[in-house]
Structure 1
Amino acid sequence: MSTVAAGTLALPTPKDAAFKSSGETEDAKVENGAVRAGSDRVEEDDDGKLRSVDEQDSGLKFSLKEQIEKDKDEGRLKRWKEHLFGRVDVSAIDFGVGKKVPEVKILTLSILSPGRPDVHLPFAASNNPKRSLFTLKEGSQYHTKFSFNVFNSAVSGLKYAYTVWKTGIRVENTKIMIGTFSPRQEPYTHELEEETIPCGLFARGSYFVRTKFVDDEGRCYMDFSYYFEIRKNWQ
């Protein structure tokens, strides 16, 4: 704020006031004329000045360029969500306190090998884990396939974990991330990458496997154990 010395403040004379009033009137005429020339519709605002309707509404509209940029940003956000959560209904995820606990039901767990019948593991409670469920030929290809349902709420970071022992020695311990899934009526199906059965005398024999499905919260949805054999031939 500027400071004015006492006794130096000059008040406008009636002549000055009249001159200023006249100038403002002329400026208003020019301004109003320009508004009329630039728009078919004009309205009087709270200050008594005429403004075009287009000018008043300009703050509520996007230009074509602005709209395109806005759509690009929304597209990036959508791709980022899909990368983070997979194709999941993010609205089904409740991050607040008291959220519903997800329920995951494993429906099938199968071992697939080209040219061979699919092996469906009977992970019912009555299964005898000490009996070998299937045989794999050394050097052959196989992969694991499973299906499952998700209920109540989205499950985050579902993992397929398995540990393999041979003659009491752990030979493999693996965790595979499956993803995040929202609840729905239709089952999900997932297939793991193809693997090759090891070859040689030391690879042959009986193996014990413990399989689990767990999520990021440490909830376990299935804990299943079984035996299988690796042989020189299928029989």
Structure 2
Amino acid sequence: MSGHAQEPSSVPEDDLAPTETTGYKVGQQKTLEELARLDAEDDSLARWKASLGINPAASASTSGSGPNVEILSLSLTAPSRPQPIVFDLTDPAKVKSLKSSPVVIKEGVDYSVELKFKVNHGLVSGLKYLQVVRRMGANLDKLEEMIGSYGPSPEPVVKKLVAEESPSGMIARSGSYTVRSRVIDDDKHVHCDFEWVFKLAKEW
């Protein structure tokens, strides 16, 4: 799933604004072939480009299809849960249903968001995950974490983010929580933007 949310969101757009990288300016994007040739004699730069999968031979033949960054799934993982809760983000109908089908999260446990994505045919710089949790119209929590920079690869990337602790207590268990999740890069391209809902319970 890519692009902006299609329906009005219960989480204001301003709440999803990422922190600006100091000194970073959005510039003209270069092709992988241009990047591969850039400062070819610089060993440290060559190692960095190699870590992103950029090299002259590969970049010339890279011809992935679809969106540059394809977010395949978001999962909730926890040591206290045998299997993760997986959101399939490749099916628009399933993504839309997340707003009306709350998932259950056990109160007072550590859990992590795990993203699975593919970079198809270009370099993506400064990929970042943003998440805002709201309840009864008020923001309760905001998570912002850097995912990294990646070059194209046929294999999906799986990135587990920092663990957070779910709220606990009788009041916390009443009602539901709305979460808006977004994946954005340094060039302000939104690669994924959707909402999901959870409820807290004494057990998973």
- The answer as to 2:79 corresponding to 1:114 is yes
Secondary structure of 1:121 counterpart: strand
Secondary structure of 2:154 counterpart: strand
| Residue number in structure 1 paired with 2:53 | 89
Structure 2, unaligned stretches of length 5 or more?
Answer: 1-41, 60-66
Structure showing greater radius of gyration is 1
Q: Deviations over 1:49-94 (max 9, x none)?
A: xxxxxxxxxxxxxxxxxxxxxxxxx77x369x64xx79313557x9
Contact 1:86–1:180 (Cα < 8 Å) also in 2: no
- Which of the residues 189, 194, 215 maps onto 2:185? 215
| Residue number in structure 2 paired with 1:203 | 172
TM-score by length of 1: 0.56
Identical positions, percent: 30
Contact 1:113–1:143 (Cα < 8 Å) also in 2: yes
What code does the residue aligned with 2:141 have?
E
RMSD, aligned CA: 2.7
- Which of the residues 177, 181, 200 maps onto 2:150? 181
Structure 1, unaligned stretches of length 5 or more?
Answer: 1-73, 95-101
Q: Deviations over 1:176-232 (max 9, x none)?
A: 11110001111111111222212223432310011111111111111111100112x
| Residue number in structure 1 paired with 2:160 | 191
More helix by share: 1
- Which of the residues 70, 73, 97 maps onto 1:105? 70
Instruction: Give how far 1:173 is off.
Output: 2.3
TM-score by length of 2: 0.64
Alpha-carbon separation, structure 2, partners of 1:160 and 1:114: 22
Q: What is the number of equivalent residue pairs in this alignment? A: 150
Question: Whose RCO is larger (CA < 8 A, sep 6+)?
Answer: 2
Q: Deviations over 1:87-111 (max 9, x none)?
A: 313557x9xxxxxxx7000112111
Secondary structure of 1:203 counterpart: helix
